[in-house]
Structure 1
Amino acid sequence: MSFRILTEQTGIFESAVSIGVLKMESGFALIDSGVEDSAVKKALQSIGDGWGAFKAILNTHAHADHIGGNAWSIRNRGVKTYGPEGEAHYIEHPDLEPHFLFGCAPIPELMNKFYCAKASDVHHRLRPGSFELEDRKLNLIDLKGHSPGMLGVITEEGLFHVADAIMPESLVTKHKLMFVHNLGEHLETLERVAGLAASGYLLSHGGYLEKVDTLIDLNRSVLLEVNDLIFTLAAEGAEDTTIHAGLSQRLGMVENPGQYYLNHTAVRAHLKYLKDLGKLDLIWDQGRLLWVPVSA
């Protein structure tokens, strides 16, 4: 874990969940706040006093590992928070994430820092487009797909914080099943990122990279590889839990309860995409809801 200065005005605290740093007229802002209080504390310690006072947090999306330091920062440093308009409610009511994953009142295994951050206010709601943060002129980019309203940030220098739109090679090749909320939208986001010029890229789970063309291709190809595998597992008609089990066996996945429900959401995102393409449909069969191939 270390603070890396990229330009006179922009840096990144590289860690398991990297945090962007924007120098402003009055001090500095963080892009996301990590998974818990200690994450933001370590970032602040690494940044030191050279960039002034800690003034704000700009959240890219509402997942717990990106907002975990918000509450501490508001309470102890008096910072102002900014978040995507479409996900602000999840930041203010983070227990909705485990409800979303489980489908009802969640099990205890989903009520921890990885799935349920501490509640925090969103002082300013953000939309895609031009945005001024004091003297910083930023461009907020629609990156929905991984989550319903994720935003990326392009700075004046052309540095592009892509949040979780792109995963690093180490995670893609190790896990293959990447979390997505809407696969169709996520694939469109990968195309959007590839088409935008940038001088460098800040990945939440991969640190700083100068180029991402090859990595975008890898992300896309593995997403589609998993999608093809899920289609194959539905060839004879199967419930989503059976498809998940088959995928887990094929990929050698070992899942605890929290990971299972996170991954199951991703599996269903793939199934929804296949239904949107007209390749799979749902039928009711003797008390079971089956995913079946659509006849040509």
Structure 2
Amino acid sequence: MKITDLTDRFFLIDHGPTYTCGVNTEDGVILFDTSLDGSNAKKIDKILQKDVKAIFHTHSHADHMGGDFFFVNKYDCQVYIDKRELSFVADTFLEPSLLYGGAAYIEITGKFLSANSVEKVEKLEKGVHFLNKNDITVFDLSGHSPGLTGYLVDEYLFVGDALFSPAIIEKYKILYLFNPFAYYQSLNKIMEIECENVIFCHKGMIDKEELKSLIDVNINHLDKMYNTLYELCDGLTAEEISDRLFEKFDIKLNMDLINLINSTVKGYLYWLEKDEKIKPYYDKGIRWKRV
């Protein structure tokens, strides 16, 4: 784990699978995301050697907020997140339950999908924030999660999981997306934001000149999945479509991944229905047919 100063006040911490960013203030630091768990949070705390005054979240997934519990307990700091994800921080059982479609079963409530809950969380508004006189511009980049948020600090745009590397797409075959259509809209929005560099959590930092090619990779993935689901869906339930995808892409399964992909499939079905290409019907389950 190491800290890299990007400007005189803005820094990045690489803790393996993802990033935490931060802003130095007069009396401490503001963090953007906090890593997967308390163990990583303690390592971050050790290299910071400053009080954490606030935590701004890109979104509420466990690998981004798993360190909150440690920092809130040690520094009594305030956590901020988009209003659509407040409940997922205050009660992290909701995240695996959202993926499953009901109260989650025990096997999918481990630390990778369900972090420790934090009650000291407040709604984050979009626009410019002046927390401790540190201007931070906030953007709605929803899609990967219901209220994913991007932050612009000193010409660096931190987008969390609103963008993925080609290596991640190749590794996982199917990106988890709560709402693929909203993700597509956010990709276009990222292109329009004035910045010099973009930081994404899985994983890299690129300048604006490299951005279009990476966004094209992400859009190509969306197009591929959209068309694949359209071809597969006729007469099938969402779970049956997922099963076809597991086989088609030779995906090595575990319970977490099954639920992530099932949820993603339903997101694409929403998009296809929105485009009036499919519609649902009931026959021993909710099935889909091409229009």
TM-score, normalised with respect to structure 1: 0.93
Partner of 2:119: 121
Tell me how far 1:96 sits from its aligned partner.
0.8
Instruction: Give runs of aligned pairs for residues 1-296 of structure 1, distance below 5 A.
Output: 1-14=1-14, 15-47=16-48, 49=49, 52-155=50-153, 157-210=154-207, 211-235=210-234, 237-285=235-283, 287-294=284-291
Distance 1:124 1:242, change over 3 A: closer
Tell me how far 1:138 sits from its aligned partner.
1.0
Amino acid at match of 2:280: L
In 1, distance between residues paired with 2:165 and 2:44? 21
In 1, distance between residues paired with 2:267 and 2:245? 14
Runs of 4+ in structure 1 displaced over 4 angstroms? none
In 2, distance between residues paired with 1:77 and 1:243? 46
Amino acid at match of 1:219: N
For residues 102-124 of structure 1, the C-alpha deviation after alignment (integer angstroms, 9 at most, x for no partner) is 22221111111111111102443
Tell me how far 1:79 sits from its aligned partner.
2.0
Which secondary structure state, in structure 2, belongs to the residue aligned with residue 163 of structure 1? coil
Q: Is the 8 A contact 1:91 1:120 kept in 2?
A: yes
TM-score, normalised with respect to structure 2: 0.95
Tell me how far 1:207 sits from its aligned partner.
3.3
In 1, distance between residues paired with 2:169 and 2:106? 28
Amino acid at match of 1:91: V
- How many residue pairs get matched? 288
In 2, distance between residues paired with 1:87 and 1:246? 31
Q: Which runs of 5+ in 1 are unaligned?
A: none
For residues 166-200 of structure 1, the C-alpha deviation after alignment (integer angstroms, 9 at most, x for no partner) is 01111012223111111111110000001112111
Tell me how far 1:214 sits from its aligned partner.
1.0
Q: Is the 8 A contact 1:32 1:58 kept in 2?
A: yes
Tell me how far 1:271 sits from its aligned partner.
1.1
Q: Which runs of 5+ in 2 are unaligned?
A: none
For residues 235-275 of structure 1, the C-alpha deviation after alignment (integer angstroms, 9 at most, x for no partner) is 4x211122111111111111111110111101111111111
Q: Is the 8 A contact 2:161 2:201 kept in 1?
A: yes
Q: Is the 8 A contact 1:31 1:58 kept in 2?
A: yes
Identity of aligned residues (%): 25
Q: CA RMSD in A?
A: 1.4
For residues 51-94 of structure 1, the C-alpha deviation after alignment (integer angstroms, 9 at most, x for no partner) is x4322211111111111111111112222222212211110111
In 1, distance between residues paired with 2:165 and 2:45? 25
Which secondary structure state, in structure 2, belongs to the residue aligned with residue 8 of structure 1? coil
Which secondary structure state, in structure 2, belongs to the residue aligned with residue 221 of structure 1? helix
For residues 213-246 of structure 1, the C-alpha deviation after alignment (integer angstroms, 9 at most, x for no partner) is 21111011111101111111124x2111221111
